[in-house]
Amino acid sequence: MTEYDLIIVGGGPIGLACAIEAQKKNLRYLIIEKGAIVNSIFNYPLYMTFFSTAERLEIGNIPFNCLAPKPGRQEALEYYRNIHRYFNFSINLFEEVISVEKQENSVFKITSDKKSYEAKNVVIATGFYDIPIEMNVKGEELPKVRHYYKEAHEYAFRNILVVGANNSSVDAALECWRKGANVTMVIRKNEINNRVKYWVKPDIENRIEEGSIKAYFQSNITEIRENEVEIETPNGKVTIENDFVLALTGYKPDLTFLEKMGIQLSNDELKIPTYNPETMETNIEGLFLAGVVCGGMQTHKWFIENSRIHANMIVDSITSK
């Protein structure tokens, strides 16, 4: 069995950034990614636009050329594919890591759904887009309830309920409305989230104010039925006709996966993993975290532009030993 200096679990932008630094230091490394390269971005809505500008999404000092002020999903996929062409990463795609165990000889055993590996060091860069945060309401298991949104076409001319007031919810509501859907939003707070993209927030607020999109603020879904949804509002319960529910209530890292490795999580609702902020090494020597997974349930704390530095920190720590 080949023993690697470093195995990187996750082939997103931050996992690729770690591989770039490993290449620079001539480390024997391997990326293992359960889906396509930059799989989370691949699963974003088709017409999503990033909040960040192109240069803030760059890795490896390779320019991200973009004609628009903000790049979209398609441009990002093209950029990261070109990154792979340039660096020719050692990467296994469509292979899921099942477990990471530190053995008595201090070498990690990494077991996937295809084979096993050994490595002196491991980086977990698995992001947070794989597990939806559920509403835990009756009827959520119905096929018409979607926790991911791809595009608006199938929702045209239908009664759509969008749950949430963050970027994904607002984008979906506006796109579906523009394709002819009858859109209603259910929003837990009394306003649209302040983190919504600044060029989109006035759009959704104006559509709500003019009545084009109906919004129930300070409200929650209490039950989803085949053709209707029941909503608890400040003025009592209301029932509306409904064909689809887009429950875009956010996503969370696979915290159980981290705990199985022995990574300690905070004892509060944030579930923040234990790591050294100077090296990104966890409470287990040789096991590192990179990217958004470092924030636990605080999934808005880390993103591509502010966690690219994790790659340098991790590889510097490994090579200094």
What token pair was written down for 172? 């979906």
Q: What is the per-residue pLDDT for 38? A: 97
* Per-residue model confidence as pLDDT tens digits over 209-232: 999 999 999 999 999 999 999 999
Structural contact between residues 217 and 231, judged by C-beta atoms closer than 8 angstroms = no
Q: Quick one: which of 306, 304, 295, 307 has its CA closest to 38? A: 304
Sign of the Cα pseudo-torsion (8, 33, 270, 264, in order):
negative
Q: pLDDT confidence of 300, banded at 50, 70, 90?
A: confident
* Per-residue model confidence as pLDDT tens digits over 31-83: 999 999 999 999 999 999 998 899 999 999 999 999 888 999 999 999 999 99
CA 256 → CA 42, 259, 264, 265, 288, distances in Å?
Answer: 24, 5, 11, 10, 16
pLDDT of 27 above 80: yes
The fraction of the chain above a pLDDT of 70, given in percent, is 100
